[in-house]
Amino acid sequence: MKLAITLLALSAAGQVEAHGLRHLQTCPTQGTDGVCQMKMDPVKCGDLNCEYDNPCIATKAGFAETQCAKANPGCPIPDAMMPCSESYDPLTCGALSCEYDNECLANLAGFDIAADCTKVYANCPTPMEGACTMNIAPVQCGTLNCEYGNACLANLAGFAVDTQCTDVQPECPVMGEGMCTMEYMPVKCGGLECEYSNGCNAELAGFNSQTECTSAIPAGPTPLGASPEAAILVVPFFLGCFLAGFLLAVLLQYQIRSKTSNRG
């Protein structure tokens, strides 16, 4: 009889152990084996909803991962006991886009920086030094819609082009500061055929007028005054007309005087 009672007690104890402490009347405390971080990522475990600061401590108390659930679905709080700098280089982490001031704090909150977090820029970052072509294929990146001339420059600024950037409809570049003459010898430059009044203005817009631009003057007759060459032709024409008119007026005046004198 004693043997049967003993076996029954052992069987009951085994069932309690097999069910992972589900039938305990009080919440177990953390065991002494192993070390857990002090980060706050609270969980509740078992039928009693025993609460622990993080899953590691719950495991040390004897609960399996399947017996616990998040106690607070909000963003985890960094471990206040660990030092971090006060630098402001914000990033968001996890499915809830939890925001932290820098990588150190995000790491202390339990996130894997490379896998779980993305940078949040207060200002658009400047591209670092590197080799990029000068082709114009602008992209906008990040929450600030930072714009760069092409994907290579965006990558040098720290953005993951495939996931953080989108193409921008290209526009003709505006001329920068500089001195150019007022001559009208229009040129078209680049893939967008951006038009400028002359090669100098095209250079101020960032184009190489010798290799990236072609003349925009129509192949047909040049309108009067449309170019210096046309002006050279127009001036003698009008001068000739003026002289011819003057001579005609002199001749008519002479004829009138001759007729008047003959009548006298």
pLDDT of the residue at 189: 93
Segment 201-210 long-range contacts (CB within 8 Å, at least 24 positions apart): 201/175, 203/178, 204/175, 204/176, 204/177, 204/178, 204/180, 205/172, 205/173, 205/174, 205/175, 205/176, 206/134, 206/173, 206/176, 207/173
Reported as type and span, the H/E element at residue 233 is: helix 228-263
Residue 132, Cβ neighbours under 10 Å: how many? 15
The answer to whether residues 116 and 104 touch, using CB atoms and an 8 Å cutoff, is no
pLDDT digits 0-9 by tens, 9-31: 444 444 444 444 445 678 888 77
pLDDT of the residue at 234: 58
pLDDT digits 0-9 by tens, 84-113: 887 777 888 887 888 888 889 998 888 888
Domain layout of the chain by residue ranges:
24-73, 79-120, 124-170, 172-219
Listed in sequence order, the DSSP H helices in 23-167 are: 55-60, 103-108, 113-116, 151-156, 161-164
pLDDT digits 0-9 by tens, 114-148: 888 887 776 788 888 888 988 878 899 987 888 99
- Residue 8, pLDDT > 50, answer no
C-alpha to C-alpha distance for 155 and 245, rounded to whole angstroms: 71
pLDDT digits 0-9 by tens, 40-54: 678 889 888 888 888
**Full-model pTM:** 0.30
Least confident of 32-41, 55-64, 69-78, 130-139: 32-41
Nearest to 41 by CA among 72, 62, 8: 72
